[in-house]
């Protein structure tokens, strides 16, 4: 199983316009737990104001779905230039 930690960067606290940014990827049977731990730690490190605009989601992909993993990694590269 592949698990991706995704950051949703929103322009307002209403979360109506958000950009998704892949942050990290885990592979293996305990990958969802690792992602959940990282998401919790990252969320706790945000200020109250930023918690309204930023949030982390763990997204599960099949281990055999290499195409999806590559698409997410490519999107990270493109979006990193936009930031």
Q: What is the pLDDT of residue 66?
A: 52
In angstroms, rounded to a whole number, what is the distance separating the alpha carbons of residues 17 and 2?
Answer: 27
Question: pTM for this structure?
Answer: 0.68
Lookup: tokens for 43: 């969320």
Q: How far apart are CA 18 and CA 47, in angstroms?
A: 18
CB atoms near residue 31 (< 10 Å): 19
pLDDT of the chain along its 83 residues, tens only?
889 999 999 887 777 788 999 999 999 989 999 999 999 999 999 998 888 889 899 999 876 655 554 555 544 444 433 33
């Amino acid at each position: 199983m592949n698990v991706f930690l995704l950051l949703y960067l929103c322009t307002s606290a209403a979360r109506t316009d958000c950009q998704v940014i892949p942050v990290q990827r885990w592979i293996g049977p305990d990958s969802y737990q690792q992602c959940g731990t990282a998401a919790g730690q990252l969320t706790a490190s945000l200020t109250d104001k930023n918690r309204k605009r930023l949030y982390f989601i763990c997204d599960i992909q099949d281990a055999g779905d290499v195409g999806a993993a590559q698409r997410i990694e490519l999107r990270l590269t493109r979006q990193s230039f936009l930031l």
